[in-house]
A and B are shown apart, each in its own frame.
Chain A
Amino acid sequence: MGTSTKTAGETLDKQEKTAAVELKGAVFTLPVLKLHSTDLPAIEHELKVHLARGLNFFKHAPLVIDLEAIDEQQGRKLDFTAIVSALHRMQLFVVGVRNTNPEQAKRALAAGMAVLKGGIAQEDISSGKNTSAPPPATSKTLSAETTKVIHQPVRSGQQIYAKGCDLIVLSSVNVGAEVIADGNIHVYGSLRGRALAGVSENANARIFAQVMEPELVAIAGNYQVFDEPNASNLYGKAAQIHLDNNRLVIAPI
């Protein structure tokens, strides 16, 4: 618990309108609950301890369950329906799972959960091919074919997503704005909003800014909130951020 992931609607800007409904793409940061056991009572107990310790941040939060560390051959099979209702009792709302094998994906779908990116590809569900290990995304996502370049300021309420590539912002990213990339993020003005690099699990992604004063930065789901300017002595300076052993490290450029 404590990492987070991005589910990215592909069509951030496009909207499809009909009379009764409106389909929009949107990007959300969701907390991920990584399970290390299939033992439901144990899971419940540990979570209660966490919540009692004041992790109220997660209360009423939509949650993604990560099965990467689960080996059902060794342990018991996970009862998805039971887990969902147990979490629900703790006011945690499971919206999906990731890092599933095809069989788990089928069970998750049957329990009404979505199967998210970072798990297996769609066609594998039908073909039943076993791809229990998630594909290492690093090298693939890094060799960006194109770079998304933004010339205007990214303003409060706006979101830019560079899918499958790097993002370069030649202006500023303002407070309340969010820039997201599967690759690296470069900001040649001030980074004052949120920046999430390597969102499809690219732990090698970096964030560069001419003036680093973000609200939040994240690399491959590891995030840090800067709620006070003296969180780092590089705050307000030219700096870069990378991931070292799941820890965000800020360094001068």
Chain B
Amino acid sequence: MSKVIVVTSGKGGVGKTTTSASFAAGLANRGHRTVVIDFDIGLRNLDLVMGCERRVVYDFVNVINDEATLKQALIRDKSDNNLHILPASQTRDKDAFTEEKVGKVIDELREDFDYIVCDSPAGIEKGALMALFYADEALIVTNPEISSVRDSDRILGMLSAKSQRAIQGEEPIKEHLVVTRYSPNRAESGEMLSLDDIQELLGIDLIGVIPESEAVLQASNSGVPVIRDEQSKSGQAYQDMVARFLGEDIPMRFLEAEKKGFLKRFFGA
């Protein structure tokens, strides 16, 4: 049975697209047929992060409007045959989305893919509601700050009220917390919310903590999901997250502030 996973947050710019790209690439890398859909109509970000922007001919809205077939619109990742991207369009036609039409596309994708990852736009408006409507599971992307946690709480409320599973009274969407842009130093000094605070406020299980890292920007500039940067901590943290999603029991890494060495401390570096 294929699974639909929405990557959502409420708040903008917290790392949904970064997480969607790496999560999808990680699943594909482990042999699962995976497609990642960009629901952020009008902005088109995912294709840049995935490095396939030049190969976008048809997009999600074209498929919805029957102007192209799914086959025509799906882009295969350049280095992984298991990974496909369904890009968003730049036409600002958000009204193209209806539950029925999106549902048809998802159903068709379910036939060919094990995992369907939906990169949600920010906010709690129609685009975000469409991205979460058919979800079986959800990655709630949160930064360690109050406004981000509030918005995540809001979107969790939407999952439990506005999703198809909620409306039809089925088993609720399985929710996972992903804390991104986490800085152990700043959490320790109290500048940021601690992981305990975030979990206590949201009341859902943590599946990954992605440290703040330069590598993320570098990776997205070169159009390669950061999970493929095996040297980087954020890449490794995404690897762990994917493994946990697939049921492995792996301890969290990169949570501790780096202890300054004696000399560094001595010279105040």
Contacts and interface: CB of A to CB of B under 8 A. Distances in A.
Interface in A131-184: 152-158, 171-172, 174-177
Contacts of B201: 174
Interface string B152-173: 0110111011000000000000
A157 B154 contact: yes
A154 B161 CA distance: 11
A155 B150 CA distance: 9
B160 A174 contact: no
Contacts of A174: 153, 201
Contacts, number: 31
4 closest Cβ contacts across the A-B interface? A155-B157, A156-B153, A156-B154, A158-B157
Nearest to A154: B157
Contacts of B153: 155-156, 174-176
A156 B142 CA distance: 15
B203 interface: yes
Interface string A210-224: 000000000000000
B154 A176 contact: yes
Interface residues of B, number: 12
A154 B154 CA distance: 10
21 contacts: A153-B156, A153-B203, A155-B153, A155-B154, A155-B156, A155-B157, A155-B160, A156-B151, A157-B124, A157-B157, A157-B158, A158-B157, A158-B161, A174-B153, A174-B201, A175-B150, A175-B153, A176-B150, A176-B153, A176-B154, A177-B157
A246 to B, nearest CB: 33
Interface of B: 124, 150-151, 153-154, 156-158, 160-161, 201, 203
A175 B201 CA distance: 9
A250 to B, nearest CB: 23
Contacts of B161: 13, 158
Contacts of A157: 124, 154, 157-158
Interface string A30-55: 00000000000000000000000000
A175 B153 CA distance: 9
B203 A172 contact: yes
A212 B201 CA distance: 14
Which of A13, A171, A175 has most chain B Cβ within 10 Å? A175
A2 B37 CA distance: 51
Given A171-B203, A172-B203, A174-B201, A152 B160 contact: yes
A152 B158 CA distance: 13
Given A156-B154, A176-B154, 7 more contacts: A153-B156, A155-B153, A156-B151, A157-B158, A175-B150, A176-B153, A177-B157
Contacts of B156: 153, 155
